Structure 1
Amino acid sequence: MSFMPPWFWLLLALLFFSALAGWVLQRGLKKQALSADANDVQRQANRRIQQQHLTDLDQALAEGRLSPAQHAMARDDMLRHVLSDATAAQGNGMRPQVNAASAGPVRVVWIVLCLAALSGWSYAQLGAAQTWWPLPLSQRVQITATTPEQLAEQTRAWQQATQSRPADAQAWLTLARLHAAQNQHALAEQALARVLVLAPEHDLWVERAQMKALSAGGVFAGEPWQWIQQVLTAQPLHLNALVLAGSAAWSEKRHDAARAYWQQALGLVPADSDAAQGLQQALAQATEMPKLAEAQASQVVPVLTPTPSGGDTRPLIQGEVRVTPEVQSQIGAGASLFVYAVAEEGSRRPVAIWRSTPTAWPVRFGLSDSMGMGAPPVLSSLAQVRLVARISKTGSAQKQPDDWQVELEGVKTGVQGVVLNITGR
């Protein structure tokens, strides 16, 4: 696809057709002028012949070869022919056109201006940039479902659509985003792989990298990092790739690298936009994090253990996860417990993830900004969130049918003593 704006090609087309119309009109005017000149030459030749004939008649009368009556009759007959030829010439439009050639350029200029004005007005009334330069696929697909029931219903419908239309990239992308909205990141990544075969856009590669990392519990090592770097190599100022690269570096505790990526991204968005505010918050957090890491270096209990870090003064959500005796009897050794917070509006990407392998119940947990994936929003920027606690036998970050899970909405950031009671699947 060309990177020239649509109006540029429209302007070229208008100029081309206007010039073509002017050229055709100019040719017609020139032919008309040549025809008029040829008619003038013919009339002048006829006039000379008629004058010579009158001279011959007068000479014949003087020499006595014609009588006065014969002379008068021959002269009247010739005059009738002259009048007849003049009348016929006037009827055929063979009148002198002295100013045809000089008026041609003026007419051409007016016609060109009228064509350009008419075409521009038509485009302003009927045209749109999208009709000349369609939006990329990554920007055309939007998910409208909000409730779990709507998401499940639309997921089934689009699964059928992809089966009946396996080459429909838009159907695959819609299905991928429906999976992502339900935190089914592995399925979303698989659907995005199909999309990229049909429409290899940079934004979609970044989206796939994010889904791959989320399905691996927030780990970007391997293919996610490789895909991000490929996009940045081809387009160093790709906004989404820079933001996600910062998140990936943050998840690996490389705060200086995260700050560098986010600083580049900040220069690509309007200063008063929501994206700029989110990036500024992330940059401020990346600046403070080395100091906090030093303060926590002496802590005996590390982050991501059942007991939250007590040295973090930022807003935390603290509580415990309980299970019923029936559930506890079915949990095998080595099962993983995930507790994560999700914004109640907007993206369903977890803003903080806590993980443990409990050996006894209940289990205490703590969530903080340091447990997020780095990209806005961060936990401390949200007034309240939805908490999810899930027990996985396999340890997969992706929800499985035999997992146990509970959700709690309206949890205020900064609260302590939250209880998540898992009673079933």
Structure 2
Amino acid sequence: MIDFWLATGLLLLVALSFLLIPVLRGRRAQSEEDRTALNVALYQERLTELQGQQEQGLLSSAQLDAGRAEAARELLADTEGADVQRTSRLGKPLPLLAALLVPLLALGLYLHYGASDKVELSREFAQPPTSVEEMTSRLERAVKAQPDSAESMYFLARTYMSQDRPVDAAQMFERAVGLAGRQPELLGQWAQALYFAADKKFTPQVQALTSEALKSDPSEVTSLGLLGIAAFESERYQQAVDYWKRLLAVLPADDPSRPALEGGIARASERLVASGGKLAEAPVVAQQAAAAAVGDSDNKVAALLKVRVDLAAALKDSVKPGDSVFIFARATSGPPMPLAVKRLTVADLPAEVELADADAMMPQLKLSNFPEVQLVARVSRAGQPTTGEWVGRSQPLASSTTAQQALTIDSPDH
């Protein structure tokens, strides 16, 4: 920011010069006026002296006329080149006052309406963070600078959860839900944050959020896992087994959390039997949901979207070769975060990329899990996928589309 403030100060000096030059010129004109008045006074004094000498008989009429002529010549010589226009003193305080108030007013307006925080944040995001704390600080300022960005709030909430800050995470998830809508995935993660914020107590609000999430999506993984944990902690082992089996049925075969989940099911089953209970088969509803999920998983074809990305000719002089380009797909009706992302630079364009389930940011948020998506390509000098300078968007299309899509970056990113 140092170079920014130096440039600002230079511009202020230029502006002040336009205000102060007339004042300085006025002072010079005033000094010229004062000198002229002094010469006139001396001329009049010389005439009076000559008149007195003539009355005393020391000068003849001819000598008196010659003396007057000589005094007049001296007066003309002294006043030659002087500016005869007089500048009014009433206007001088106004430029001085403006010279002081204009910079102060401009600074106040800039700090209130300007974007110095966004400029500094963009510079920071251009460099990789050196620690989790630095990334958290950047995301916090990104949320402050972009209060209508559900994506920024979502990523900040996830970061808070990784730092064991569930109270802060719950607040961010709540704000993200308010902007992006009551999507099942967001409701489930909001409920999870509230559960840990309440010291692992299953409050009525947590119950309401998980119920709403599962009503919209019976396979919502965070809610299923949370309900299983809550049931296990309260020694409702049968329910814990039922929820975790439903979750296990919808997870991909290569999901890294499957071994831990299977171990949890085994421990819950052992404790149920040890307490004198009998492990029951999964309820009919759960069986149907699990069977449907397994069937969908078996029959579902992994999504693969082929996209050719180019930059509009009119924008080629407005970007730099090193500017980041993010190509991603997001659900048209679903969570605000991208489902699959690829990163290039402007120098790579035009380029052909593929977005697939393997590019998913989260296992449960795969392209094939959403019937309709939108493709987005964004140029970001700051290296931020959530905001940039230029963007191109496609019309909604089926996630099962196999034909190559053309995407042109041609619009300002608002």
TM-score (norm 1): 0.39
Query: Which one has a bigger Cα radius of gyration?
Result: 1
TM-score (norm 2): 0.40
